Amino acid sequence: MKKLFSVALLSAFGYAANAQQSSSASQAVQLQLQNAIDITFTANGSDVGPLVEIPFTTINDYVNGVETANQEIRVRSNKSFNVFVKTNAENFTYTGGATPTPVMPVAGVLNLIVVSDLTGGTIPGPYSTSAYYTLRDFNIDLINNGVAGADQKFTVKYKATPGFAYPAGTYDVGVVYTATQL
């Protein structure tokens, strides 16, 4: 009888014999995001792209110039961005047997065209998708107002037109792409 009394007493206070008890705890989670941007070549996933070789093997190459294959570049940014392009020197570096050492300027010899722009931005000129324009040793706008995202790509192509004024050898210059958040 004592057992019935305890069940009856619990029921009187609003407790059921089989009722589940619960308790909860909570906490806030705070994300602390920083501005983030990177620019890489899709061919190797690196900020140092693969070597672009431009061989001149026929007279027509010297007359017409030589174009490269497409070079695809990806920007990942959590803000809108601009992309600038320049060479790392005013002149090519020469390796070969000619003396005196020839001096080939980049301007007027190495040109660039934007083949495609999937950044959501604009190509402000002088570069475009319809004509080559020379590279220089100072930053020139290539893409303006690219849209924030994880896979914003653009593709360029180079064309070299050195003409007949330079002796055989290897001529090198670096091309630098800089992505800057707005």
- pLDDT score of 4 more than 60: no
The predicted structure's pLDDT at residue 17: 59
Q: How far apart are CA 98 and CA 182, in angstroms?
A: 46
Whether residue 169 is contained in a domain is answered as yes
Whether residue 20 is contained in a domain is answered as no
Whether residue 2 is contained in a domain is answered as no
Whether residue 90 is contained in a domain is answered as yes
Whether residue 21 is contained in a domain is answered as no
CATH number at residue 107: 2.60.40
pTM as predicted = 0.85
How many other CB atoms are there within 10 angstroms of residue 67's CB atom?
Answer: 15
> Residue 106 sits in which domain range?
39-49+69-182
Q: Tens digits of per-residue pLDDT, 30-42? A: 999 999 999 999 9
Q: How many domains does the chain have?
A: 1
Whether residue 62 is contained in a domain is answered as no
Whether residue 84 is contained in a domain is answered as yes
- pLDDT score of 3 more than 60: no
Please report the sign of the dihedral spanned by the C-alpha atoms of residue 131, residue 50, residue 107, residue 122: positive
β-partners of residue 77 are: 37, 149
Whether residue 85 is contained in a domain is answered as yes
The predicted structure's pLDDT at residue 19: 79
178 by DSSP, 3-state: which?
Answer: strand
β-partners of residue 144 are: 122
